[in-house]
Homo-oligomer: A and B are copies of this chain.
Amino acid sequence: MSVQKPSLPKGTRDFGPVQMAKRNFILDTIKDTFRLFGFQQLETPAMENLSTLTGKYGDEGDQLLFKILNSGDFLKNVESGDLEHGPGHVLPKVAEKGLRYDLTVPFARYVVMNRNEISFPFKRFQIQPVWRADRPQKGRYREFYQCDADVVGTDSLICELEILLMIKKVFGELGIEDYTIKINNRKILTGMAEAIGENGREAELCVAIDKLDKIGWEKVQEELVQRNFSAAAIQKLNPVVDMLDGNKGKLSSLKEFLSDSAVGMKGIQELEEVFALLSKYGSDEEKVEFDAVLARGLSYYTGAIFEVKVNNVSIGSVSGGGRYDNLTGVFGLDGVSGVGFSFGVDRIYDVMEELNLFPKQANEYTKVLITYFDQQGFEYGLQVLGELRSASISSELYPDLSKMKKQISYADKKDIPFVIVLGDNEISENKVSLKNLKTGKQEMMSVEAAVEFLKESF
């Protein structure tokens, strides 16, 4: 076997202990919240049949799927004449499976395959990696985690309420304070296009209006002209641009504007109901901002649309979701509607790094290292170790007889906050010396006292 310098495939990364501790802090917070709200976990295989994946993400998505070569003689269906027809022709002959591209399609597949066992409404969450053959760049990887919660099988707006509440809880517990939950309703967007006589053009409309803050109303008008919106339509948009501040103000301005659009008015009504539920639950509209031009997922969202932005950081949007009408139609099961939300774990991680929000001592670290000077100390240390662990204190005994400096350096590098030092005095008096590595303070005490002290320190 030749020796080789190992490397990682581009666009992929390892998560070492420090990153894992931080990632787990985020993921545990999200999981606890999902469970508090009654969501249950699902895991699906990394590999799906290409027939399940293909055609669900548009042509570009199909290109970005990672395909898995058939096992065994993958060439057995390929003839030399096939090659000249190109990769699109050869692909189905050499690959039947691909890696999942998101968690929504596998979830839809699961719902269809298990529809007789599932009791609806079905509240599921799923936290797994997905793979996309995107060109890697800063902050964009070929393997990354998605973290989704969906409720399917009910049209109740309490689901929208719960998404708002879960976002508030998660961001609150992560310590992210300055963020905004933007909310809109697809029906309002549809209504806006109707109201200006440009039915069905809400996507283009939103792309242009979305730039209002950055480029101003005049430039937005120019862009709408370029996109062939009529002068009359642009004229009609004026009141939207001048909308009053605050959720209630915006809603009442929009009500006037949309009064002739039944679908638009339905959208407003749904949104008002969500705000009303928020108040009945005992929460408030703090952080929740109605954004009439928030547009995402327009090819599938039919009701509420959500997006979370963290303010004053380099990365903006960190999470998003919305309500859809038809999760599983493509697999032959109609009428499964629901609401979904996805926490952008990688982006939340980057935001927390930028804002320095990770707690100094995550749960994952060893709390105390036992150090010693000789074989006798090692053996006494073994006993102490047993007592610490019986008290559920994460602890280690340095494994080799080494210089004290080396043992302490191990604790430092592993971010272990305390060491127990076992010298002749400690052994003969059946005690331990407990040292706080941050303050340098060291004190001799009984093992029981050390256990008590350490239990109270975390």
Contacts and interface: CB of A to CB of B under 8 A. Distances in A.
Given A6-B331, A83-B80, A399-B154, A45 B277 contact: no
12 contacts: A4-B330, A8-B45, A15-B42, A16-B110, A20-B41, A35-B394, A37-B396, A41-B364, A47-B143, A66-B71, A154-B400, A158-B382
Interface string A106-129: 000110111001010101100001
Interface in A303-357: 329-332
Contacts of A245: none
A68 B7 CA distance: 17
A398 to B, nearest CB: 8
Interface stretch (A178-186, A290-298, A383-391): A383-391
A395 interface: yes
A114 B15 CA distance: 11
B119 A331 contact: no
A66 B66 contact: no
B6 A20 contact: no
Contacts of A117: 16
A431 interface: no
A239 interface: no
Contacts of A24: 41
Interface stretch (A198-206, A264-272, A279-287, A437-445): A279-287
B97 A9 contact: yes
Contacts of A75: 83, 86-87, 90
Nearest to A282: B386
Interface in A359-394: 363-366, 379, 382-383, 385-387, 389, 392-394
Contact of A40 (B17, B277, B400): B17
A172 interface: no
B331 A5 contact: yes
Q: How many copies of the shown chain assemble into the complex? A: 2
A387 B36 CA distance: 12
A432 interface: no
Contacts of A43: 14-15, 20
Contacts of A48: 8-9
A249 interface: no
Contacts of A161: 382
Nearest to A43: B15
Contact of A68 (B64, B68, B387): B68
A55 interface: yes
B410 A119 contact: yes
B47 A12 contact: yes
Contacts of A63: 71-72
Nearest to A328: B6
Contacts of A7: 49, 52, 113
A133 interface: yes
A397 interface: yes
A64 B68 CA distance: 13
A49 B8 contact: yes
Nearest to A48: B9
A101 interface: no
A427 interface: no
A131 interface: yes
A364 B364 CA distance: 21
A454 interface: no
A187 interface: no
A39 B446 CA distance: 26
Given A8-B113, A12-B47, A17-B42, 20 more contacts: A3-B332, A7-B52, A7-B113, A14-B42, A16-B114, A20-B43, A35-B394, A37-B389, A46-B129, A47-B66, A67-B69, A74-B91, A94-B94, A119-B409, A119-B414, A121-B399, A156-B399, A281-B386, A282-B383, A283-B386
